[in-house]
Amino acid sequence: MKVFLNPGHAPGGHPDPGAVNSESGLRECDVALAVGQSAESYLNAAGVATELLQSDSLEEICEASNASDADIFVSIHCNAAEAEEANGTETWACAGSYRGSMLASCIQNQIVDALDTKDRGVKIATPGVNGLYVLTNTDMPAVLV
C-alpha cells in the first residue's frame, strides 16, 4: 500500500501561499505541509509507504503521483473564509470515481469523528463544471481534503 500526499499550494508560500490569516500571518501552505508530514509519519508507522510532494505546479504533482505507483492520492488543503459560519470539514472526489468517493467518505468520517468538526460532507467535482485538476488528472482513487 502506498499513499501519495500532496500538501496544497507552493512550498514556502512562493508564489502561492493559499489562504493567509491577515492577523496572525498563518499560511495554508505551512499548515497543509505540517498536516501532510504528520499524516506521513502515522502512515509510515503503520507500515504504509508514502510519497509527499508540495508544488506550485499541478502538472508536476499529477505526473509525480501517476509515476509513483501509489494506490491512493490525497491532497490536503485548509480553506478560509471571512464568514464565521463557513467552517467544517469537506472532502472532494472526482465524479465517476466510485473508489474515490469511498475513500473520500472514509477520510471525511475519520476527520469529523477525530476533530469534532462540522460535517460539510463529501463533495463531487465534475470535470468541466467544478472539476479539480489534481482529481481529474491522477490515475488512482484521489481525494482533496
Least distance (Å) from Zn ion to the CB of residue 29? 8
Cell numbers describing residue 126? 465534475
Strands lying side by side in the sheet with 49-52? 49-52, 2-7, 72-76, 142-144, 89-94, 119-125
From 77, 100, 107, 124, residue interacting with Zn ion (rule: CB under 5 A): 77
Considering the rule CB under 5 A, would residue 18 count as an interface residue with Zn ion? yes
Q: In the bound complex, what is the minimum distance in angstroms from residue 144's beta carbon to Zn ion? A: 8
Binding mask 88-117 for Zn ion (x = CB under 5 A): ------------------------------
Q: What is the Cα gyration radius of the chain?
A: 15
Q: How far is the CB of 142 from Zn ion (least distance, A)?
A: 15
Q: Is 8 in the site for Zn ion (CB under 5 A)?
A: yes
Q: Work out how close the CB of 116 gets to Zn ion at its nearest, in angstroms, rounded to a whole number.
A: 22
Distances (CA, A) of 127 to 35, 49, 59, 71: 27, 29, 16, 21
10/16 Cα distance (integer angstroms) = 5
Cα distances from 85 to residues 88, 94, 110, 128, in angstroms, run 9, 26, 22, 29
Residue sitting closest to Zn ion (CB): 77
Tell me the closest approach of the beta carbon of residue 112 to Zn ion, in angstroms.
19
Minimum CB distance to Zn ion smaller for 27 or for 77: 77
Task: Please identify, using beta-carbon distances, which residue of 16 and 69 lies nearer to Zn ion.
Answer: 16
Q: Are 5 and 76 in contact (CB under 8 A)?
A: yes
In the complex, the residues that contact Zn ion under the rule CB under 5 A are 8, 18, 77
